[in-house]
């Protein structure tokens, strides 16, 4: 945080929303490096949601929004086609 703003990035989630922010991984091999990755393409995202539904059957996967954590520090901007 600097001057009340996040240096790493931001995200928004409204009341009642279910939002996919991405997968996060911390690599500590030589120094800590944070990675954000995600399924590519609508088909890849739908396959991921299908796997989630098996683990969390109550989750309404039809309402999950793909809205990645916005950052310039780790990862690139990406939107589903």
Report DSSP state, residue 15: T
34, burial (CB in 10 Å: exposed 0-12, middle 13-18, buried 19+): middle
> Given this model, what pLDDT does residue 65 score?
95
Could you tell me the maximum CA-CA distance found in the chain, to the nearest angstrom? 43
Categorize the per-residue pLDDT at 6 as very low, low, confident or very high, splitting at 50, 70 and 90. Answer: confident
Per-domain residue ranges for the chain?
29-66
Give 32-80 pLDDT, tens digit per residue. 888 889 999 999 999 999 999 999 999 999 999 999 998 877 777 888 9
Categorize the per-residue pLDDT at 9 as very low, low, confident or very high, splitting at 50, 70 and 90. Answer: confident
Report DSSP state, residue 50: H
> Given this model, what pLDDT does residue 48 score?
96
CA dihedral 73, 67, 26, 52 (to 10 degrees): -170
């Amino acid at each position: 945080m600097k001057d009340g703003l996040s240096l790493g990035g931001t995200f928004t989630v409204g009341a009642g929303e279910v939002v996919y922010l991405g997968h996060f991984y911390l690599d500590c091999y030589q120094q800590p490096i944070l990675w954000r990755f995600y399924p590519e393409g609508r088909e890849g995202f739908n396959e991921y949601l299908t796997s989630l539904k098996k683990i969390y059957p109550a989750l309404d996967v039809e309402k999950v929004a793909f809205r990645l954590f916005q950052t310039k520090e780790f990862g690139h901007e990406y939107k589903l086609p």
